[in-house]
């Protein structure tokens, strides 16, 4: 019975690793496609975001494969260990985009417009939320995508500052996506004040897939944006 359970968990783990391999492939394809379409250097801001994220996805895959190869050693705590790694990767994905998008903003203020405080003065310190709100203001992101980005930022903050426990009650609905042969169904990212944010095994692959797709659109739209 235990042997059957182990086989089932290994199959599940293999399928799970495949999802991250698909994300890795998507990032590589995005890197080449955007480079071809926009003639942007692969190692320069903003396109370098794809390679930077891909590097951490690659590391995560290596970690997951190590656990698979040493399944018997980690069986009892396998999914807890994987969940910790997934949290780290998710946080890094948003952190990398925040880093890249802030540099892009500082280099393109004349085109994008200023991020200002309540007094109308340019903010000295900006965060990813500021970049997202600016992107909505100049219509690089629509209101729906902006709302989902706010949900991602809230989730990141829960993980970083509060061990994934929420301080708000809110639900963000991410659309179904089909990155390859598998279709991710609609995802509800639910926050309930005082409770841990939980999800299925595909929670993080779904969120990272959506984030990578949104970053790709952001790069195209910021590149082609012309201030009025």
> pLDDT value at position 28?
96
> pLDDT value at position 182?
63
Q: What is the pLDDT of residues 193-211, one digit of tens each?
A: 999 998 888 899 999 999 9
pLDDT surpassing 90 at residue 22: yes
pLDDT surpassing 50 at residue 104: yes
CB 51 within 8 A of CB 42: yes
pLDDT surpassing 50 at residue 188: yes
In whole angstroms, what is the distance from residue 67 CA to residue 1 CA?
21
> pLDDT value at position 1?
43
Q: What is the pLDDT of residues 124-157, one digit of tens each?
A: 999 999 999 999 999 999 999 999 999 999 999 9
> pLDDT value at position 228?
67
> pLDDT value at position 200?
85
pLDDT surpassing 80 at residue 14: yes
> Which of 16-20, 96-100, 199-203 has the largest mean confidence?
96-100
Q: What is the mean pLDDT of the chain?
A: 93
pLDDT surpassing 80 at residue 93: yes
- Secondary structure (DSSP) of the chain: -HHHHHHHHHHHHHHHHHHHHHHHHHHHHHHHHHHHHH---TTSTTTHHHHHHHHHHHHHHHHHHHHHHTHHHHGGGHHHHHHHHHHHHHHHHHHHHHHHHHHHHHH-HHHH---B-TTSPBPSS--HHHHHHHHHHTTSS-HHHHHHHHHHHHHHHHHHHHTTB-SS-EEEEEPPB-SSSS-BPPEEEEE-TTSB----TTHHHHHHHHHHHHHHHHHHHHHH----
Going from N- to C-terminal start, the domains of the chain cover: 2-224
Give mean pLDDT, residues 170-179. 89
- Token digits for 88? 């780290």
């Amino acid at each position: 019975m235990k042997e059957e359970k182990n086989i089932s968990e290994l199959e599940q783990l293999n399928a799970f690793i495949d999802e991250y391999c698909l994300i890795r492939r998507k990032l590589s394809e995005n890197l080449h496609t955007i480079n071809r379409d926009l003639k942007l250097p692969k190692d320069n801001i903003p396109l370098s975001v794809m390679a930077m994220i891909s590097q951490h996805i690659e590391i995560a895959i290596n970690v997951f494969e190590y656990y698979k190869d040493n399944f018997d050693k980690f069986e009892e705590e396998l999914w807890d260990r994987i969940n910790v790694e997934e949290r780290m990767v998710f946080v890094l994905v948003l952190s990398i985009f925040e880093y890249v998008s802030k540099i892009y903003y500082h280099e393109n203020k004349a085109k994008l417009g200023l991020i200002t405080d309540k007094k109308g003065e340019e903010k000295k310190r900006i965060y990813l939320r500021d970049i997202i709100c600016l992107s909505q203001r100049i219509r690089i992101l629509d209101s729906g995508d902006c709302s989902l980005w706010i949900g991602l930022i809230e989730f990141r903050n829960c993980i970083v500052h509060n061990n994934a426990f929420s301080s708000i009650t809110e639900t963000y609905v991410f659309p179904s996506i089909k990155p390859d042969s598998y279709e991710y169904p609609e995802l509800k990212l639910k926050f309930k004040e005082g409770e841990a944010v939980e999800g299925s095994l595909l929670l993080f692959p779904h969120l990272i897939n959506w984030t990578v797709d949104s970053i790709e659109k952001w790069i195209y739209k910021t590149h082609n944006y012309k201030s009025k």
